[in-house]
Amino acid sequence: MSIDGGTFFHSNWGSTTAPADGLDHHLTVELGDNRIENFQFSYKARSGSGLGDYPKTIKVQGSNNGTDYVDIAIVEPRNENGGTIENGAEWTSAVLGDGNTYTYLR
């Protein structure tokens, strides 16, 4: 599954109040009958110098009811030199999983 390259998300940059769940923004994927145990994902950062709006930490969570989520992994995307992924660069996670299967990922 992929999301069209024209789709993008913004953080909670315009608010002085943090979201109740502590996450600036999340994307929930419902897998239906296709429960999965291991997966990986990738993203491409926006282009433009000085934007500074790349994800610094990504929390990956799983659920089987869409309400109660458990942490699967916390990743900090870095390039091959240990730097941040920004200015149009692409990044792919390692294969993630915690030994359980999930219907929802976020």
- Residue 43, helix vs strand vs coil: strand
Number of helices followed by number of strands (H, E) in the chain:
0, 6
Note the pLDDT of residue 2.
43
Instruction: State the amino acid at position 82 in one-letter form.
Output: G
Q: For each of the chain's 106 residues, which pLDDT tens digit applies? A: 445 555 555 555 555 666 665 556 778 889 888 888 999 988 877 776 655 667 778 889 999 999 999 999 998 888 788 777 777 778 888 999 999 999 999 8
